[in-house]
Amino acid sequence: MSVVDDAGAMLLAEFRAWLVRERGLAPETVRCYCQHAGKFLGELPDPLDAAVRQLDSGQVSSFMIAYCRDRNTWSAKAMATSLRALLRFLHVAGHTPVGLAAAVPAVAGWRLAALPRGLDAAVVARLLGSCDRATVVGRRDYAILTLLARLGLRGAEVAGLQLGDIDWRAGEVTVHGKGNRIDRLPLPADVGDAIVGYLIAGRPACAARTVFCTVRAPHRRLTAAAVRGIMGQACRRAGLRRVGAHRLRHTLATDMLRAGASLPQVGQVLRHRSQLSTTIYAKVDENALRPLARPWPTGARS
């Protein structure tokens, strides 16, 4: 069974509509959920409607065990979350007689177990400097990387930025974040200059209302995956090991802390809905941790 077959495509379309209508999820989240759901449905035998009706907890658990083999924690968690959503939908919509969301095994992971990994200022400079601003692609990519580094935006937020979201007179930008949250942020001069450089000499005239578009026709809005790809290409040009766009968000947070900002201030800039999301940066808050460090014991050795 391939998810591009009619039965699979129709079921995914129904799932997508349910996520938007009932869950109110952001477009990028819906896309990710459907992508993972398609992988699960693609493993079911033909005919799909009968396979879905006869679905049991053993099949769900077996799929997750096989899928998670040799995958990292974040990839496994993304599949688990998406699969639970799909199974809830299948039960609510009457495709399965019982709810099977609880059959998805939990993925082991410990919150706050790792340090947030920021980048050195020299590394960020190399990433930005790798963009050839004499070209359209270079001007676009430079503006995208500058937004990621200076405002700590998520990749999906950069991809979804609309032309009307920038208030040039007020020097502000409206960001449509996770959970339909809308925030207005100050637009630093260097970020504004980078965007203007692309808009004036680079952005194609097209129907898309997003700030950033594809370079080749037919011109379309960029996706979050495209933003991740732009970050990866910048790493390659700069001779660096590939890192995700989210590392620039971590970099902004750690730089703020080292400059004396408090955790609540960092949370405001990163637009965290919960203070718990910001607590991971307490591990790199050197100013707050310094008084807690015990002096190294001294004295004569026996």
Q: Which of 150, 154, 247, 271 is catalytic?
A: 154
Q: Which of 150, 203, 221, 272 is catalytic?
A: 272
Q: What token pair was written down for 126? A: 């190399």
Q: Are 204 and 219 in contact (CB under 8 A)?
A: yes
Q: Which of 126, 228, 246, 283 is catalytic?
A: 246
Q: Let me know if 39 is a catalytic residue.
A: no
Q: Let me know if 281 is a catalytic residue.
A: yes
Q: Which of 178, 228, 237, 283 is catalytic?
A: 178
Residue 19 amino acid letter: L
Q: Which of 150, 203, 249, 250 is catalytic?
A: 249
Compute and round to an integer the Cα radius of gyration of the chain: 23
Q: Let me know if 91 is a catalytic residue.
A: no
Q: Let me know if 77 is a catalytic residue.
A: no
**How many angstroms separate the most distant Cα atoms in the chain?**
79
Contacts of 227 (CB under 8 A, 6+ apart): 144, 148, 155, 156, 158, 159, 245
Residue 22 per-residue DSSP state: I
Residue 263 and residue 111: Cα distance in Å, rounded?
Answer: 17
Contacts of 127 (CB under 8 A, 6+ apart): 119, 145, 149, 231, 234, 235, 238, 240
Q: Which residues pair with 220 in a beta bridge?
A: none
Q: Let me know if 176 is a catalytic residue.
A: no
Active site (catalytic) residues: 154, 178, 246, 249, 272, 281
